Structure 1
Amino acid sequence: MTQQKNVSVDDLLRDHHSEVVDTARWLRAVVLAAMPDAREKVWPGWHGFGYHHPQMGYICGIFPRARTVSLFFEHGTHLPDPAKILTPSGRRGRSVVMERPGHYPADQITAVIDAAVDHRGE
């Protein structure tokens, strides 16, 4: 597979329905507010964009789909989920699946992001 260079988040979202675009941008703002020093990387082949903490490495990724947007945590099975917002995404992954901006409150999502950073530091 040939990988495109210099693909932006806007490029990746270009062909999506406006509700998916708004949801992805809202999630992106929540992630960046929770991890202001995170490095963002667009993955055209996986059709998503991920976030790397400066000390802890990869934390999560945003993946827009036809009608929803998933915030994926690779080690999600190890994360506390008192609000019950994580859904299975494989053997160890978990996702927050959003249908619209604010589908789940930002503080609940931030709590999962914070737990993911803490888990990577263990």
Structure 2
Amino acid sequence: MTRQDVLTVEELLKGHDPRVVKAALWLRELVTTAIPDAREKVWPGWHGFGYHHPQAGHLCGVFPRERTVSLFFEHGAHLPDPASILTGSGSRGRSVVVERAGQLPADQIIALIDAAVDHRRT
């Protein structure tokens, strides 16, 4: 096992702008609040960290970039998005992109997380 195999979220975020770090940790908190039994895994090669639900499988990942952070939903194209906060045009994935923590109402993001769990369970 290499050191990268056990990289923590905090280690992954080192060197990022403090605003990006705060936004990534905010999204992390929303995901773990919505699905407390999800397993978190850091993906050094993709420079992100993702969440696996015990019954629903892989749901989403947080990807910090230079100035923004994406919360990517593997099956986002199939999720209800009444607030129109998902971006992307692929046949499957969609993202919520933020520049700062609290930029969007937390309840809108949590609703997407809940919908992702429901979608994958069916």
In the alignment, the residues of structure 1 paired with residue 100 and residue 4 of structure 2 have an alpha-carbon distance, to the nearest angstrom, of 28
The match for 1:115 is 115
The structure in which a higher percent of residues are helix is: 2
In the TM superposition, what is the alpha-carbon distance from 1:77 to its structure 2 partner?
0.6
Q: Structure 2: which 5+ residue stretches go unaligned?
A: none
The match for 1:35 is 35
In the TM superposition, what is the alpha-carbon distance from 1:3 to its structure 2 partner?
7.8
In the alignment, the residues of structure 2 paired with residue 29 and residue 76 of structure 1 have an alpha-carbon distance, to the nearest angstrom, of 19
In the alignment, the residues of structure 1 paired with residue 46 and residue 34 of structure 2 have an alpha-carbon distance, to the nearest angstrom, of 23
**1:95 to 2:95 alignment:** yes
TM-score (norm 1): 0.95
SS of residue matched to 1:23? helix
Aligned letter for 1:98?
V
Q: How does 1:50-69 map to 2 (within 5 A)?
A: 50-69=50-69
Over the residues paired in the alignment, what is the CA RMSD in angstroms? 1.3
Contact 1:3 1:45 in 2 (8 A): no
In the alignment, the residues of structure 2 paired with residue 120 and residue 80 of structure 1 have an alpha-carbon distance, to the nearest angstrom, of 13
Contact 2:77 2:90 in 1 (8 A): no
In the TM superposition, what is the alpha-carbon distance from 1:75 to its structure 2 partner?
0.7
Query: Deviation string for 1:20-48 (max 9, x for gaps)?
Result: 00000011001000000000000000000
The match for 1:83 is 83
Change (3 A) 1:89 1:67: farther
The runs of 4+ residues in structure 1 deviating greater than 3 Å are none
Q: Percent identity?
A: 69
Contact 1:89 1:95 in 2 (8 A): no
In the alignment, the residues of structure 2 paired with residue 116 and residue 5 of structure 1 have an alpha-carbon distance, to the nearest angstrom, of 27
In the TM superposition, what is the alpha-carbon distance from 1:92 to its structure 2 partner?
1.3
In the TM superposition, what is the alpha-carbon distance from 1:15 to its structure 2 partner?
1.1
TM-score (norm 2): 0.95
